[in-house]
Amino acid sequence: MLTDENKREKGEYQFIQEKVVPSKRKKWKRLLSMTGTTLLLGAVFGLTACVVFYASAPWISKWLGKTDSGGTPGEGIWLPGGMNQNQEGTPGQNQPGGSAPGNPSSPGGIGGNPSEDVAHGDSASPGGTTGDPSVDSMNPGNSDSLEGSSEHVPGETGSGTEGQKDPVIVEQRIEGDLSDFKNMYHEISQMAEEVGKSVVQVTNITNGIDWFQNPYATEAETSGLILAADEKLVYILVNYDRIDKASEIRITFEQGVSASASFRDGDTDIGLAVVTVRRSDLPERVSEELQPAPLGESYSMEVGEPVMALGNPNGFQGSMLVGMVTNRENYAHIPDNKLALFQTDMLLSKEGEGIIVNMEGRIIGIITRKLEEDTGLCTALSISRINPLLEMLLNQTPRSYLGVVGMDLTENLAERLSVTGGVYVAEVKNGSPAAEAGLRTGDVILQADGKQIFTMLALNAYLQERKPGDEVTLSVCRMVREDAVTNDYEILLGQKDIPNK
């Protein structure tokens, strides 16, 4: 403690005390040095992060399920909205369209945008705007329809914020007559003619010998679709049963030129096959005018949407039907897959086949007789769901085979088994890898190699990532009396048989 005398003495020598004041110049130097160090470290961190993200991108994409369906990027033949994009495809991102043959900017001369899963639903909510003035002006939810001419006065009504003027909307009633109706169908016919350039005639020639040992030949005609073309081959999609026992296949193009075709690959479960024609067998003019199919996407398709059927839907080559989509909630369960179907109100001949095209001139479905429910109406495979399968057929990609027909697990059964999801095994194919491993009808597949499997689509995506001969481990739940027992099964995947090969 300071005494009074010490305090007095300290006050007398206060004037000689010194205080060290840092130099302002050194302070600025230190500040600049710290700033420079921070920027340098930030640059090093950013560069390191870029390298790490770039190097880990393939693993991240695989973990997220964004994998290619056979082949590496830049190899093989790809279709617009195919599986080399997102697993399910992302509607809205893909701009589907035909590809010019021999395009050097794309693999194999095939144009295509590599990335499609569009969320279901309308692009605009009821009463909202679509962004297209021509559409919005006809939308009853946008403004009241008035008879004669009327003007919407800015500032009087509207949901805009204060200080913003509503746009002036002038409505006028236009009288229509039969000529407008005729013009509308004329435009549809022109669109059908343009898409029809991708449709070809397929002739199946079958040779045989009659009872008197005389040789004979029968011909059957159907329609096909030019899927793609590269420098050497033209790839054409046909119904498998039409060429199954053919002795010879001939393709007649739009210009009337015919050429012999060879079987490339097929899938009996979906009933489709791909045949090829050598471009060297075609006249130069025909080869240059080849127009691959303008494939679209079917995720955003709506019930009531107008469509047309091309090919030979009524049994006659080059015929056309016009109708609308009546149902889009049908599914076909085939071994190791679940396919989406949609129906129209157009009558289909017993010999009818072809494609379904929307009013934008894009193909959204392939007419199927194999998977229809014998309704007599045009039933089609949704193009977005079969795009990965078509790419596999084009590239002759070996397809792994498990051999189960599965369905998504119902809520009641999931609650009974105390699980959150899985695939109910409705059928096990005889002689399949699943049957040899011991799987039975009524089993529920819960996991594959430790990954949770909630739906049949998830199981199909998992199998497409595997190759024939790969060993997989499936966690399967089975009801034993009143108890649910879960066991692991080691299964060696087989290879799906390639018919006619």
Is residue 368 one of the residues assigned to a domain?
yes
**Last residue of a domain, which of 394, 421, 454?**
394
pLDDT value at position 145? 37
Does residue 486 share a domain with residue 422? yes
**Last residue of a domain, which of 359, 394, 429?**
394
pLDDT value at position 7? 55
Do the beta carbons of residue 366 and residue 237 sit within 8 Å? yes
Q: Cα separation of 33 and 22, whole Å?
A: 16
Q: What is the CATH number of the domain that holds 388?
A: 2.40.10.10
pLDDT value at position 169? 79
- pLDDT tens column, 79-119: 765 544 444 443 333 333 333 333 333 333 333 333 333 33
Is residue 381 one of the residues assigned to a domain?
yes
**Last residue of a domain, which of 371, 394, 417?**
394
Does residue 385 share a domain with residue 409? no
pLDDT value at position 176? 77
> Which of 259, 232, 229, 363 is closest to 307 using CA atoms?
363
Q: Cα separation of 421 and 275, whole Å?
A: 40
Q: Cα separation of 47 and 45, whole Å?
A: 6
Share in percent of the chain as helix, strand, coil (round to 5): 25, 30, 45
Is residue 20 one of the residues assigned to a domain?
no
pLDDT value at position 110? 38
Does residue 365 share a domain with residue 446? no
Is residue 407 one of the residues assigned to a domain?
yes
Residues whose CB is less than 8 angstroms from the CB of residue 253 and which lie 6 or more positions away in sequence, other chains included: 200, 259, 282, 286, 290
Residue 364 has pLDDT above 90, yes or no: yes
pLDDT value at position 44? 85
Count CA atoms closer than 13 A to 29's CA, side-chain side.
5
Is residue 389 one of the residues assigned to a domain?
yes
SS3 (DSSP) at 213: coil
- What global pTM score does this model have? 0.67
Residue 273 has pLDDT above 70, yes or no: yes
Does residue 425 share a domain with residue 365? no
Do the beta carbons of residue 442 and residue 478 sit within 8 Å? yes
Does residue 404 share a domain with residue 491? yes
Is residue 143 one of the residues assigned to a domain?
no
Q: Cα separation of 314 and 16, whole Å?
A: 113
Q: Range with the lowest mean pLDDT among 112-116, 201-205, 256-260, 304-308?
A: 112-116
Does residue 488 share a domain with residue 426? yes
- The residue segments making up the domain with residue 383 are 306-394
Does residue 479 share a domain with residue 414? yes
> Which of 79, 289, 127 is closest to 194 using CA atoms?
289
pLDDT value at position 46? 84
Does residue 412 share a domain with residue 358? no
Is residue 27 one of the residues assigned to a domain?
no
Q: How confident is the model at residue 315 (pLDDT cuts 50, 70, 90)?
A: confident
Does residue 405 share a domain with residue 385? no
Does residue 430 share a domain with residue 385? no
Average pLDDT for the chain: 78
- Domain count across the chain: 2
Residue 135 has pLDDT above 80, yes or no: no
- pLDDT tens column, 324-344: 999 988 899 999 999 999 999
Does residue 432 share a domain with residue 355? no
CA dihedral 42, 43, 48, 53 (to 10 degrees): 90
Do the beta carbons of residue 348 and residue 379 sit within 8 Å? yes
C-alpha 345, offset from chain centre: 24
Residue 144: enclosing H or E segment and its boundaries?
Answer: none
Do the beta carbons of residue 413 and residue 468 sit within 8 Å? no
Q: What residues pair up with 349 in beta bridges, in sequence order?
A: none
Q: What is the CATH number of the domain that holds 469?
A: 2.30.42.10
Do the beta carbons of residue 91 and residue 299 sit within 8 Å? yes
